C-alpha cells in the first residue's frame, strides 16, 4: 500500500503531535483542518477531555513520520528555480533600506517572487538573529516587507474562543435557565443538552449578556439578549427510520412498517430572521466535530448580529432624527409664512381704508366747491358732507397710529397650506 503524501503543513503538524513538547488541541483553531486531514488518513486520533480535544498520534502516524524523516530530501532538479538568490536579495535590500522594503503595486509574478523569498528566508532560518520578517499586501496593493527586531509576535487566541462544557454536572448546580429550559430531545440527550445550555449561560454572562427562559408557548430553549437585541436559541435532535417488526404477526411476514428513533445528534439554531438572511444559523454534531466545539462560533454569530442590529437601529434613529429636524424646520417656516400673510392682510386692509378715507375727503372737498346754495339744498348737502367726513375719520387708520398686529391663534390645520406635503401633526409626509 502506497504511503499517503503529506504537504509541509501537515508534516509539521504531525511532527509536533508525535514529538512536540506542546500538544495540538482545540485551542489551536488554525490547525484544526490540518488535524482533521491527518485523522482522516488514520495518522492521528483525537481524544476529548473537559470539552476539548487533543491530537494523539497513531501507530501508523509514528511509522509514517519515521519513514518520511529517514528518507533523504530530494535534491532540487535543474528545472526547479532556486530561492537562494531571491532570499539573499531580500535580506540585502532590507538591510540597505533600514529594515523596510516598499514595492509599489507589483505585478503578480513580482509578488510571487517576493513571497517565495519570504518563505525561504523563514523556512531556512536565514533571517538575522534577533529579528523577524513581516509583510503586508500579499495579494493586492503595495507590498511592504519589514525586518523587525525581536521575536515574531505570537498569535493570540481571540477572547471567548473556547466555551468549556463540563462532562458531568449535578442538576442542582445547573444554571436556572438551563435547568428549566424546554429541550425537545430524548432522555439520554437531556443531561448533555442542559450542560451545553449551562455553559452557554455562564459564557454569556461573562460577556455581560443577559440570559433568560423564553415565554411559555415558545419553541426556543434559551434567549440571549445583547443590548437591545434578543436571540432565541432552539435545540433539535436528529432522527432516523428503521424497520418496525412489531407490526408483523408472523415470523415469515415481510416487515414494511417503519419507526423513527432518535439519532442522539444535537443541533442548536438561532431563530431565522429576514434581517440576517444568508447568515449561518445552525450548529450541531457532525462526523468531524461535536456541538460543543461550535459554541464559540455561535457566540461570534450572536455578536455579529447584535452589532449589525445596533448599527441598523442607530442608522434608523439618525434617519428619524433627520426627518424630525426637517419637519421642525418646515413647521417653523410655515408659522413664519402664516404670520407674514397675516401681517400683509392687515397692512392691505389699512392701506385700503386709508385710500378710501383720502378719496372720501377729496370727494367732500369737491362737493363743497360745487354745493348748491339754495336754502333746502344747502342744508342737505352740508349734512351729507359732514357724515362722509365723519365716516372717513372712522375708517382712516393713520390717526390711530397702528402698530405691529397681534399674531393670530394658530392651529395645525392653519399651517397645512404652508407645509408643502408635511403633516402638521407629526414628522411624516401626507
175 and 304 co-located in one domain = yes
pTM confidence score: 0.53
Distance from C-alpha of 197 to C-alpha of 50, rounded to nearest angstrom:
15
Strand stretches in 282-374, DSSP E: 282-284
Q: Which domain holds residue 53?
A: 1-68
User: CB neighbours of 314 closer than 8 A, spacing ≥ 6?
Assistant: none
Residues of the chain with pLDDT under 70: 1-4, 20-22, 49-51, 69-85, 153-160, 255, 376
- Classified as helix, coil or strand, 54 is strand
Q: Number of folded domains in the chain? A: 4
- Per this entry, what is the length of the chain? 430
The residue from 106, 127, 154 where one domain ends is 154
Quick check: is 425 in a domain? no
Q: Is residue 21 part of a domain?
A: yes
Is position 77 within any domain?
A: no
Whether residue 198 is contained in a domain is answered as yes
Q: Is 55 in the same domain as 104?
A: no
Residue 72: what pLDDT? Answer: 53
Can you list the pairs that 403-411 forms with residues at least 24 positions away whose Cβ atoms lie under 8 Å?
Answer: 404/343, 405/342, 405/343, 405/346, 407/339, 407/342, 408/338, 408/339, 408/342, 410/335, 410/338
**Do 22 and 133 fall within a single domain?**
no
Establish if 63 belongs to a structural domain. yes
pLDDT attached to residue 340: 96
Q: How confident is the model at residue 275, as a pLDDT?
A: 87
Assigned domain for 428 exists: no
Instruction: Kindly state whether residues 211 and 305 are assigned to the same domain.
Output: yes
- Confirm if 36 and 44 have CB atoms less than 8 A apart: no
Tell me what pLDDT residue 424 has.
95
Question: Is residue 423 in a domain?
Answer: no
Work out whether the CA dihedral 301, 304, 308, 313 comes out positive or negative.
positive
377: in domain: yes
Q: Indicate if 122 and 46 belong to the same structural domain.
A: no
Phi/psi at 366 (nearest 5 deg)?
-65, -40
Contact yes or no for 163/143 (Cβ under 8 A): no
The three cell numbers locating residue 83: 530561492
Compute the distance between CA of residue 242 and CA of residue 240 in angstroms, rounded to an integer: 7
CATH of the domain at 21: 1.10.10.10
Same domain, 271 and 392: no
Question: Do 265 and 332 share a structural domain?
Answer: no
On whether both 217 and 276 belong to a single domain, the answer is yes
Amino acid at each position: 500500500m502506497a504511503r499517503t503524501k503529506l504537504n509541509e503543513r501537515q508534516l509539521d503538524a504531525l511532527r509536533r503531535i508525535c514529538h512536540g513538547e506542546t500538544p495540538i488541541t482545540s485551542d489551536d483553531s488554525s490547525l484544526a483542518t490540518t488535524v482533521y486531514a491527518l485523522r482522516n488518513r488514520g495518522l492521528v486520533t483525537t481524544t476529548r477531555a473537559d470539552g476539548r480535544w487533543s491530537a494523539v498520534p497513531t501507530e501508523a502516524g509514528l511509522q509514517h513520520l519515521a519513514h518520511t524523516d529517514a528518507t533523504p530530501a530530494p535534491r532540487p532538479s535543474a528545472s526547479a528555480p532556486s530561492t537562494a538568490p531571491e532570499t539573499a536579495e531580500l535580506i540585502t535590500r532590507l538591510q540597505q533600506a533600514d529594515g523596510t522594503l516598499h514595492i509599489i503595486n507589483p505585478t503578480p509574478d513580482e509578488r510571487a517572487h517576493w513571497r517565495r523569498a519570504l518563505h525561504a528566508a523563514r523556512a531556512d532560518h536565514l533571517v538575522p538573529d534577533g529579528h523577524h520578517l513581516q509583510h503586508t499586501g500579499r495579494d493586492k496593493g503595495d507590498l511592504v516587507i519589514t525586518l523587525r527586531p525581536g521575536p515574531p509576535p505570537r498569535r493570540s487566541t481571540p477572547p471567548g474562543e473556547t466555551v468549556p462544557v463540563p462532562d458531568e454536572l449535578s442538576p442542582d448546580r445547573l444554571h436556572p435557565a438551563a435547568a428549566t429550559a424546554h429541550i425537545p430531545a430524548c432522555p439520554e440527550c437531556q443531561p448533555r443538552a442542559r450542560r451545553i445550555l449551562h455553559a452557554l449561560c455562564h459564557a454569556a454572562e461573562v460577556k455581560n449578556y443577559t440570559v433568560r427562559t423564553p415565554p411559555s408557548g415558545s419553541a426556543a430553549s434559551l434567549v440571549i439578549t445583547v443590548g437591545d437585541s434578543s436571540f432565541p436559541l432552539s435545540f433539535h435532535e436528529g432522527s432516523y427510520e428503521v424497520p418496525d417488526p412489531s407490526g408483523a404477526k408472523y415470523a415469515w411476514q415481510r416487515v414494511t412498517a417503519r419507526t423513527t428513533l432518535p439519532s442522539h445528534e444535537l443541533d442548536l439554531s438561532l431563530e431565522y430572521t429576514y434581517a440576517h438572511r444568508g447568515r449561518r444559523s445552525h450548529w450541531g454534531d457532525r462526523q468531524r466535530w461535536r456541538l460543543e466545539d461550535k459554541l464559540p462560533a455561535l457566540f461570534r454569530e450572536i455578536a455579529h448580529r447584535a452589532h449589525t442590529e445596533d448599527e441598523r437601529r442607530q442608522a434608523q434613529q439618525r434617519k428619524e432624527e433627520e426627518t424630525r429636524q426637517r419637519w421642525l424646520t418646515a413647521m417653523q417656516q410655515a408659522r413664519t409664512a402664516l404670520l407674514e400673510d397675516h401681517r400683509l392682510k392687515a397692512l392691505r386692509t389699512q392701506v385700503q381704508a386709508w385710500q378710501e378715507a383720502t378719496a372720501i375727503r377729496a370727494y367732500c372737498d369737491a362737493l363743497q366747491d360745487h354745493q348748491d346754495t339754495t336754502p333746502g339744498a344747502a342744508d342737505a348737502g352740508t349734512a351729507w358732507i359732514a357724515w362722509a367726513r365723519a365716516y372717513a375719520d372712522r375708517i382712516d387708520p393713520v390717526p390711530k397710529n397702528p402698530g405691529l398686529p397681534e399674531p393670530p391663534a394658530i392651529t395645525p390645520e392653519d399651517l397645512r397650506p404652508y407645509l408643502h406635503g408635511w403633516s402638521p401633526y407629526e414628522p411624516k409626509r401626507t
